[in-house]
Amino acid sequence: MISVEDALAQVFALTDPAPTEVVPLVQAAGRVLRAPVRAGRDQPPFAASAMDGYVVAGQVAPGQTFRVTGEAAAGHMFAGRVGPGEAVRIFTGAPVPDGGTHVVIQEDVSRDGDTITLLDSLGNGPNIRPQAQDFRAGDQISAPRRLRGVDLGLIASMNCAEVTVTRRPDVAIIATGDELVMPGENPRADQIIASNAFALKAMAEAEGASARILPIARDTEASLRAVFDLAQGADMIVTIGGASVGDHDLVGPVADSLGATRSFYKVALRPGKPLMAGRLGKALLLGLPGNPVSSIVCGHLFMRPALRAMLGLGHYPLPTASAALACDLPANGPRAHYMRAALGPEGTIDPVASQDSALLSLLAQAGALLVRPPNDGPRKAGEQMRYIPLDL
């Protein structure tokens, strides 16, 4: 068995970045930006009023009077110039006319016809946003990064209508086993529902992939070969179950017969020891365990980081955080243990009562995977422990 760290490093070594494509900005939410975006204009593109009021020239003081010569609104600039003793009625966002140095807010003004008088409440600020206060033409947003809503707003304000992003990796998910039926079907007394594929599909899509669940591969070489054939063209093939060494575990032998190269098999990990990785054609091949918790935990530890690498976000494990342990824990064994745990309201973390890898309901209730390194000694309540947030 190899360590989790070595296994992930080998998965990364098998991972190729996906190509890029250009998409309209309206379709770019959540995509991974792969080329910098450069601003096509200043923002704001002109000195703009920050308030509703009157723009004047020169110094201001209470009691001064000015003659109103025009009006400027957002999208409707005043074409003239503001001279001494003159004022232009102006509204928030409007360009400041030439000569204007100060916007007096309307609350600090008394108006009588075309004459305004500055009141004793006069403030000090010029209330003008300088041209390029936010950014200048040529400033850029760096890549790679996952595009959030605020990023799209910033790119739009830069007057950029398209962005270069990573093409969505195509993930083909294959559940294996005669014991499985799809949700909604009528299982026999000796069958169970295929659930893992739906969790893995959702996780892959949340990372930015395009995922498809292929038909269940039965426990025959012919069936598994046929389903592998449907996965052609995928960037990643994820199999569920059948990757161990039992008489009905056919994923490895059939993948080998199709030309797969295997990088490793078995990881010093709980849950999820029977994990396989390799390449099948141009695709990364991940063989995950069949137990629900084992499968999903391995999806977090290996599939998600591999997808992020394909998207151009680098070769990194999932980020961790720390919290105070809510209870004592005995020493850990020789395998790294990723324990389902609940996060408490006061920065604590509490492992769930049972770590049975078949209990999917407890994983659904957990908010984190508490990380126990191999041969980790006993831990006392209150000690700081690392964990992986389960945000997907």
Look at residue 265 in the predicted model and tell me its pLDDT: 84
pLDDT tens-digit profile of 113-124? 999 999 999 998
Task: Answer whether 281's CB lies under 8 Å from 232's CB.
Answer: yes
pLDDT tens-digit profile of 224-281? 999 999 999 999 999 999 765 555 578 888 999 999 999 988 999 999 888 999 999 9
Q: What is the model's pTM?
A: 0.89
- Mean pLDDT along residues 62-71: 96
Instruction: Determine the Cα–Cα distance for residues 36 and 139; give it in Å rounded to an integer.
Output: 10
Look at residue 285 in the predicted model and tell me its pLDDT: 97
Q: Which two tokens stand for residue 91?
A: 């509204």
- pLDDT over 90 at 373, yes or no: yes
Confidence tier at 371 by pLDDT (50, 70, 90): very high
Look at residue 276 in the predicted model and tell me its pLDDT: 92
Q: Which two tokens stand for residue 199?
A: 């969790």
Tracing tokens 């998409």 back to the chain, one arrives at: 23
